[in-house]
Amino acid sequence: MTYSEALIYIDHLEQQPLSPDHQNSINLMEQLGNPQNQMPVVHVAGTNGKGSTIAFMKSILTEGGYKVGTFTSPHILSPLELITINDTSINEGDFAAAITTMQSVCESLVQKSLPQPTAFEVLTAASLLHLSKANLDLAIIEVGMGGRYDATNVFQQPLLTVITKIDFDHTQWLGESLKEIAWHKGGIIKPEVPTVIAPNHIDVIEAISDIVRETGDIMYLMDEGFISEQILMSTGYSKLFHLKSNFFDYKGLRTSMLGRHQTLNLATALLAIYLLRKVLPMEEASIKKGIQMTKWTCRNDIISTKPLIMIDGGHNTGAIEAMAHLMKENFSNHKIITVFGVLSDKDVESMTKEVMAFSDQTILTHPLSHRAADLGSINESEVITIENDYVDALKKALSLMDDRTLLLVLGSFYLAYPAKVWLMDHLKSIQ
């Protein structure tokens, strides 16, 4: 199977209905011999902050000299985005080889009258298969949606489980309350595996605590009240600061990952590192350098300073609230033009109002997905306009900018990532 043929095969599987549980993934991994259990794993679930927390951890461990593989989702332009080892994505040949194996396994399952796995289940299994062959010091695996019934929930005994900030998202599948959502997210917790919990609502803490008690595990809670941050210098693009908790005390840290939400993500990552250092020793200098070098595409991602452009894949209420705080804290003296778009499972009207509250001009558009939210019910005005094509929205925003303007592209990763690619190409062509 060539890479092109692998893409066609995956595209064909997109027609498969969403699985009600993760039995397909269990079947896939069993057919492969459960290679996922032969590598050291950190399993990460949550609503917001998963990607940033993983990025901090990966950068720190890489600076410490370790070989680190990651599986993160969703992919936007190419499934090669899903799998990285240190800073290198999987190549087309290795991806095609993994999918070729998965096609054979799927055919075997169907012959046994078992269901055909979905595209995401196949991609997840292919990723775990590839990573298991890479002789990694650590694999960091991000949950796709939920946790309990997610395709990634196939590990017998990870080194560590991490639960980031839990908020309202995918409520049609995960439930209408934080406790219900936390029950799904906490489903990745395994017996005798330590669990790190990011600062969270009390309902989340209670729900996760109940699961931890049932499994007899140890829970390490990063309580926001015990996180002390002293900012020594902030330019709006980076900051120098001290960060202290009841688990660590670091002085003279630098990062370009701004905002209080990123401080909490970093603190969660540092708690995980605190535990991982028992098996993966690291010097403090490597930890500091790893924090300084951390980048996470489309998260507080300043891709240009002249003109000033930030990309952020914040696509739920909690993420937008965090962005509002970041704008107030770092860009209060700028005019803010926001290009915003989300998928159809979001409350676009309510979220748009929140975006408008911190934006001088809001341009709504469609993400690059057939699941883009319908904008037909939004009324245009002097401060809000609609451009159905995201490129037209970006062009309009650029035409409105001056030296004191920040262009913020916010919303679904199906908007943020294609917008970043287009903007970087466009900016090169005019420089």
From first to last of its 431 residues, the chain has per-residue pLDDT tens of 999 999 999 999 988 888 889 999 999 999 999 999 999 999 999 999 999 999 999 999 999 999 999 999 988 789 999 999 998 999 999 999 999 999 999 999 999 999 999 999 999 999 999 999 999 999 999 999 999 999 999 999 999 999 999 998 888 889 999 999 999 999 999 999 999 999 999 999 999 999 999 987 899 999 999 999 999 998 878 999 999 999 999 999 999 998 899 999 999 999 999 999 999 999 999 999 999 999 888 888 899 999 999 999 988 888 899 899 999 988 999 999 999 999 998 888 889 999 999 999 999 999 999 889 988 888 889 899 999 999 999 999 999 999 999 999 999 999 999 999 999 998 876 55
Q: Which amino acid, residue 77?
A: L
Instruction: Report CA-CA distances (Å) from 255 to 228, 231, 290.
Output: 16, 11, 9
Helix (H) / strand (E) element for 362: namely strand 361-364
Task: Count Cβ atoms below 10 Å from residue 389 Cβ, excluding itself.
Answer: 11
Q: Domains along the chain?
A: 3-293 (3.40.1190.10), 301-430 (3.90.190.20)
Q: What's the CA gap between 307 and 161, in Å, rounded?
A: 40
Helix (H) / strand (E) element for 204: namely helix 202-215
Q: State phi, psi for 408 to the nearest 5 degrees.
A: -110, 120
- Report pTM: 0.90
Task: Count Cβ atoms below 10 Å from residue 90 Cβ, excluding itself.
Answer: 24
Task: Count Cβ atoms below 10 Å from residue 259 Cβ, excluding itself.
Answer: 21
Q: What's the CA gap between 78 and 31, in Å, rounded?
A: 26
Q: Is the CB of residue 66 less than 8 Å from the CB of residue 280? A: yes
In the block, residue with structure tokens 């001009």: 361
Taking alpha carbons only, the member of 18, 274, 41 closest to residue 156 is 41
Residue 338, SS3?
Answer: strand
| Phi-psi sector, 78: left (phi>0), alpha (psi -120 to 50), beta | beta
How many Cα atoms occupy the beta-carbon half-sphere of 304 within 13 Å? Answer: 23
